[in-house]
Amino acid sequence: MSATNYSKEIQKAYQITEQEYGARTKKSKELHLQTQSCFPGGVPKNSVYFKPYPLALNNGKGAYVYDLDGNEYIDYMGGYSSMVLGNAHPAVVKAVSQVISQGTLLSAAQELPFEHAMLLCKRMKAVDQVRYCNSGTEATLAAIKAARAYTGKPAIVKMEGAYHGYHDFLEYNLSGPYENHPGDGIMPYTSALGVSRSTAQDLYVSQLNDIEGLEAILAKHGHRIAAVLIDPSMGNARIVPATQKFMEAARDLTKKYNTLLIFDEVMSFRTRVGGAQEAFGVYPDLTCLAKLIGGGFPVGAIVGKKEVMSVFDVTAKNKVNQSGTFSANTVTIAAGIATLKEFDHKAVDYLETLSVTMEEGMRATLNKYKFPASVIRIGSMISTHFTEKPPLNYVEACHNRDEFVNLFFLTMLNKGVFSAHETSWYLNTAMTPADIEKTLAAYDQTIEWFASIV
């Protein structure tokens, strides 16, 4: 966590925080030093890493997780929003325990995937059929292929700053911002190694909540645009939700220009029983799902109306090739069924109550210390942006004062609050009002300290 470009006060704050972290997590540091030999960068996947070294956990129960040194944390990371019921929920543990001894990968038709798919169809107004894969990355990849096959058009529109997986079609404009060209959108750009730059020729980039910009792109290039892809929660930008007007306009514009509308609800599905699309009352042609619907196991799904989903029909002469050895495996589907059954209207309402309390408490603290930051919430996902006004898009989110982002994460971690490294928090149903109260107390102490060193 380099703070060499910050003020002396901020640098001192980093030094104090890192020293405290080091004293609390000696076994995590030891493990990271050992794993340098077998993992690139010492980690099995990028998302677990942060400076000075990643926290190592070995247990999770309910709303809490525990590190190798035995420290307890309230778990707002929650598998990047996957664990909506908390860790080791009894219903999920029971469901997995019942099926795991019966064969985990039978590679044939089974009853459980049908039950899981029917739960999704009943929850989601715009869903007739389901296809499974193993991650959100796979889901967006398959959805793009489906859109191209259905429309006969090659190009996709994505929003600047939105992350939809690490495949070549969409690993663009995840940092920036970049130059905007009226009618053509924002210049597609990627700094990611290994991404084919040739895929940019079939990509247009617009700004979230910019209705005029999106319409200009569709008006000029609609003849070659297969789909507009939107993440209603914009998780990569530390949560920047789409507005009601933008979502409604996106639906109207895609119909006007004969283009499909795809929602990436990998994270935002937890907003309502039927996902963020239910909250907005705006329904896409296809939806990409993952995380929550697998109950803590690897999962992905492409869902939508029968007419569009027909491109996956294996009995058709021409079809989109989509499969996967572990897709719809028994363990994932059993855990997913248990989770979906538990995550009902009552659970959503409970999370909404906790989330409102959290949001109001955070804003009260910021006002109390007159600290220039903002709080954004969509359902049970909350984030603190170190911007004076809540950002409406990725460009505004980039105005975050980075000196506080990592410091905030690590300071809260030292106080027993574990969140996503980007300051995004995901609540779960195992949490209690007491957990929220404890969190807000830690938040108050942290913001008070920050206000003293600005």
306 and 427 belong to one structural domain: no
CATH code assigned at 157:
3.40.640.10
Output the pLDDT for position 410. Answer: 96
Q: Could you say which of 276, 307, 342 is where a domain stops?
A: 342
pLDDT in tens, 346-355: 999 999 999 9
pLDDT in tens, 22-33: 999 999 999 999
% of the chain surpassing 70 pLDDT? 97
Q: Could you say which of 281, 308, 342 is where a domain stops?
A: 342
Q: Are 85 and 58 in contact (CB under 8 A)?
A: no
63 and 79 belong to one structural domain: yes
3-class SS of residue 57: strand
207 and 354 belong to one structural domain: no
Q: Which of 123-137, 168-182, 234-248, 266-280 has the lowest mean pLDDT?
A: 168-182
Length of the chain: 454
DSSP state, residue 383: E
pLDDT band, residue 108 (cuts 50/70/90): confident
61 and 101 belong to one structural domain: no
| pLDDT surpasses 80 at 281 | yes
332 and 361 belong to one structural domain: no
Cα–Cα distance between 392 and 172 in angstroms, integer?
20
Containing structural domain, residue 29: 8-84+344-453
175 and 222 belong to one structural domain: yes
* Structural domain contains residue 1: no
* Structural domain contains residue 3: no
- Per-residue tokens: 101: 């001894």
**Sheet strand arrangement including 129-133:** 129-133, 300-304, 286-290, 260-264, 225-230, 155-159, 203-206, 185-186, 180-181
54 and 95 belong to one structural domain: no
49 and 138 belong to one structural domain: no
* Structural domain contains residue 183: yes
Output the pLDDT for position 317. Answer: 87
3-class SS of residue 27: helix
* Cβ neighbours, 10 Å, residue 70: 10
391 and 320 belong to one structural domain: no
188 and 272 belong to one structural domain: yes
- Give the DSSP per-residue string, 115-127: HHHHHHHHH-TT-
Output the pLDDT for position 212. Answer: 96
* Structural domain contains residue 2: no
The mean pLDDT value of the chain amounts to 94
DSSP state, residue 243: P
259 and 293 belong to one structural domain: yes
As a whole number, mean pLDDT of residues 201-221 equals 96
Q: Could you say which of 274, 307, 342 is where a domain stops?
A: 342
Output the pLDDT for position 1. Answer: 43
Output the pLDDT for position 235. Answer: 86
| pLDDT surpasses 60 at 157 | yes
State how many domains the chain has: 2
Identity at 434, one-letter amino acid code: A
**Sheet strand arrangement including 72-75:** 57-61, 64-67, 72-75, 417-418
pLDDT in tens, 313-348: 999 988 999 999 999 999 999 999 999 999 999 999
Instruction: Give the contacts of 100 (CB within 8 A, at least 6 positions apart).
Output: 330, 331
Q: Is this structure's pTM higher than 0.85? A: yes
3-class SS of residue 168: coil
Instruction: Give the contacts of 404 (CB within 8 A, at least 6 positions apart).
Output: 373, 386, 450
Q: Closest Cα partner for 286 from 320, 314, 316?
A: 320
Output the pLDDT for position 340. Answer: 98
pLDDT in tens, 251-263: 999 999 999 999 9
* Structural domain contains residue 437: yes
197 and 148 belong to one structural domain: yes
CATH code assigned at 18:
3.90.1150.10
Output the pLDDT for position 205. Answer: 94
Q: Which of 66-75, 122-131, 384-393, 408-417 has the lowest mean pLDDT?
A: 384-393
